[in-house]
Chain A
Amino acid sequence: MRPADLEALQLRRLRETLERVGNVPFYRELLAREGIRPGDIRTLDDVRKLPFTEKQDLRDGYPFGFFAVPRAQVVRIHTTSGTTGKPTVVGYTAGDLDHWSDLIARNMTMVGLTADDVFQNSVNYGMFTGGLGFHYGAEKIGMTTVPAGTGNTRRQIEMIDDFGVTALHCTPSYAMHLAEVAEEMGSDLPSLRVGMFGAEPWSDATRAELQDRLGVAAFDSYGLSELYGPGVAFECQEQDGLHIWHDSYLVEIVDPATGEPLGPGERGELVVTPLVKEAMPLIRYRTGDITMLLEDDCPCGRTRRVARFSGRVDDMLIIRGINVFPSQIEHVLMALPEVGDQFMVYVDRDEHHLDEMTIEVEIKRQFFSGELADLARLQAKIVRALRDALELRTHVRLVEPGSLPRFEGKARRVVDRRGCL
């Protein structure tokens, strides 16, 4: 599709979306208050005249306040995990489910999967969109789909081996756990060749390790329930940034503090207006996720990409006035060969009201010499590497292998204890 044709399609769908949100009292009142009529949107840039939609708005509409169609047309409901507050309900028409599975199917086709593949979906199949979302996308391609869900890791590995599973979808932290258990069981998972990992940010160092340990090409998957679920953005075989399907999503990057638009190469919050959603259309939804538009075109020839996500606006920690994303800490730790896969971050306020950050790491067995002095040197090396990257002094605690929590859903590695005095 030529760029001009794509823009015309986006503009038409944006106007249709504006018509649809007219069925939602929240939007009807909001647009009336702002004095905006659908006819005011003449170009794509006019989207900036529209107000943002925040996560809190959706919470206030609990449970069905944002549905733009009669409830009888809603064929499925998912909820967000509710880790940051009351759950948010999202609804789908039959048309939405078709669209959504189509987007997932496109993504999986993009990374080279076909009906010849056997696909194991090792994420939660409940209210979490990652389970059913990937499931129907995979079936649309015609892949042999194994709805494994989470847990019972040894059985999961047996299934991969017994069924000749070629493609896996799970969180990157569960993938790491699968790799550990597979190694314990003495299986090198010979059939696996594609790993699709999402629902939490992960670094290039983690990618290198997962590719090495699982023997896969590892692709980053991005999405959120409010925008259907997974499938919003996905890496192609270049593994360098995520493609967004611009026929279905209108993308902006804004400064999280001011809401002002940012250009390519400038890191900020992803704001998305979905263009084809029927049951729950949204206008300029603030995802809370941090990324940037990449300036150059992808060698694969597909449309414009965003950079890999580097954390959440609300995960950003402010430690003694310095902005820290947990993903930066992960990046530093994964670059150190001596350090294990898991880590935990604790933030406290000391008796002088200063913020203190403590990071717990496991030391890999093969790097334990038996000498205390070597451990102390390693501890100092980790502190130095973190200080160089974060411009912040941290405490590093070395803990026994296997003692840190392993996460099967969204990893919660940061414990901020500054509030609980």
Chain B
Amino acid sequence: MAANEYIIRQISVFSENRPGRLAAIAHALEEERVNIFAFSIAEASGFGVVRALVDHPARAHERLTKDGFNVAFTDVIAVRMRDEPGGLYEVARLLGEAGINIEYSYAYSGPDGAVLILRVDRPEAAIAAITAAGKELIPSSAFA
């Protein structure tokens, strides 16, 4: 099945919750000429995970690891949604109806429209449901 072409490697970075850590990550990516499409920070007691969708995940992984960060790839999917009221509801409803659980999600809205990034419990089933509903998934080839 061609579902794999829609599974995107999100870069996840362990970070202590203290001043300057995000700046250190962002500066390293700048130096590597890596562009960030979207990112979010999840935090627990004293630490967090910085999640980012970038144009060159392998280069970002290598540089951040070299700088001493704990870095991992996480599989996510990205769905293009209508950038108007109801756009998010449309995608969330169809996943809910397919019995797919969203573990976390974040979004970006740019000149090409809005994109929802999803970490789900069953990515293959999610890809099938989204494709069947005629929604557009962003292929991993968009992120070198």
Tell me the A residues contacting B by CB distance below 8 Å: 363, 365, 368-373, 375-376, 379, 397-403
Residue pair B68, A402 in contact (C-beta under 8 Å): yes
Specify which of A372, A376, A397, A401 is in contact with B70 (CB 8 Å cutoff). A401
Whether the Cβ atoms of B44 and A375 lie closer than 8 Å is yes
Q: Is B143 positioned at the interface, with any CB of A under 8 Å from its CB?
A: no
- B23–chain A nearest beta-carbon distance, Å: 14
4 closest A-B pairs by CB: A370-B12, A370-B72, A370-B74, A368-B70
Whether B139 sits at the interface, judged by CB under 8 Å, is: no
Check if A400 sits within 8 Å of B15, measured CB to CB.
yes
Select from chain A the residue with minimum beta-carbon distance to B42: A372
Dominant secondary structure of chain A at its interface with chain B = mixed
Q: Which residues of B44-71 are within 8 A (CB) of A?
A: 44-49, 51, 65, 68-71
Q: How far is the CB of B132 from chain A (nearest CB, A)?
A: 28
Known contacts A372-B44, A376-B44, A379-B44; is A399 also within 8 Å of B70 by CB?
Answer: no
In the complex, what residues of A have CB within 8 A of residue B103's CB? 373
Given that A372-B44, A372-B49, A375-B47 are contacting pairs, would A400 and B74 also be in contact in the complex, using a CB cutoff of 8 Å? no
Chain B residues lying within 8 Å of A397, measured Cβ to Cβ, are: 46-47
List chain A residues, Cβ under 8 A from B14: 363, 368, 375, 398, 400
Residues of A within 8 A of B71 (CB): 365, 368, 370
Known: A372-B44, A397-B46. 15 other contacts (CB 8 A): A365-B70, A368-B72, A370-B12, A370-B49, A370-B51, A370-B71, A371-B74, A372-B42, A375-B14, A375-B44, A375-B49, A397-B47, A401-B68, A402-B68, A403-B16
Report yes or no: B72 in contact with A372, Cβ–Cβ below 8 A.
no
Main SS class of interface, B: strand
A402: chain B residues at CB < 8 Å are 68
B16 pairs with A363, CB closer than 8 A: no
B39 within 8 A of A: no
| CB proximity of B57 to chain A, nearest CB, Å | 12
Residues of A within 8 A of B106 (CB): none
Chain A residues contacting B47 (CB-CB under 8 Å) are 375, 397-399
User: What total of A-B pairs shows CB separation below 8 Å?
Assistant: 57
Query: In the complex, what residue of chain B is closest to A368 when comparing beta carbons?
Result: B70
Chain B residues with a Cβ under 8 A of chain A? 10, 12, 14-16, 21, 42-49, 51, 65, 68-74, 103
**A363 is contacted by which of B12, B43, B48, B70 (Cβ under 8 Å)?**
B70
Q: Which residue of B16, B42, B43, B65 contacts A399 across the interface (Cβ within 8 Å)?
A: B16
A369 / chain B contacts, CB cutoff of 8 Å = 72, 74
> Please, how many angstroms separate the alpha-carbon atoms of A401 and B69 in the complex?
7
A375 to B49, CA, bound (A): 9
Nearest residue (CB) in A for B10 is: A370
- Complex: how many Å from CA A6 to CA B70? 58
B68→A400 contact, CB < 8 A: yes
- Verify A372–B74 contact, CB threshold 8 A: no
Chain A, Cβ-Cβ closest to B15: A400
Tell which of B12, B42, B43, B69 touches A400, judged by Cβ atoms closer than 8 Å.
Answer: B69
A369 CA to B10 CA, complexed, in Å: 12
Q: How far is the CA of A373 from the CA of B15 in the complex (A)?
A: 14
> Please, which residues of chain A bring their CB within 8 A of the CB of B68?
400-403
Bound CA span A370–B44, Å = 13
Nearest CB of chain A from residue B113's CB, rounded to whole Å: 27
Q: Are A370 and B46 in contact (CB under 8 A)?
A: no
Alpha-carbon distance A371/B73, docked complex (angstroms): 10
Report which of A371, A379, A398 forms a contact with B12, defined as CB distance below 8 A. A371
Minimal Cβ-Cβ distance residue in A for B73: A370
Distance in angstroms from A93 CB to nearest chain B CB is 50
CA–CA, A372 and B44, complex, Å: 7
Q: How far is the CA of A272 from the CA of B72 in the complex (A)?
A: 53
C-alpha gap A399/B15 in the complex (Å): 8
Most chain B Cβ neighbours within 10 Å, of A371, A373, A376, A379: A371
For A368, the chain B residues whose CB sits under 8 A away are: 12, 14, 70-72
25 pairs, A vs B, C-beta closer than 8 Å:
A363-B70, A365-B65, A368-B72, A369-B74, A370-B49, A370-B71, A371-B12, A371-B49, A372-B42, A372-B43, A372-B48, A372-B49, A375-B44, A375-B47, A379-B44, A397-B46, A397-B47, A398-B16, A398-B46, A398-B47, A399-B47, A400-B14, A400-B15, A400-B70, A402-B68
Inter-chain CA distance A373–B44, complex, in Å, is 9
Give chain B nearest CB distance to A319 CB in angstroms: 20
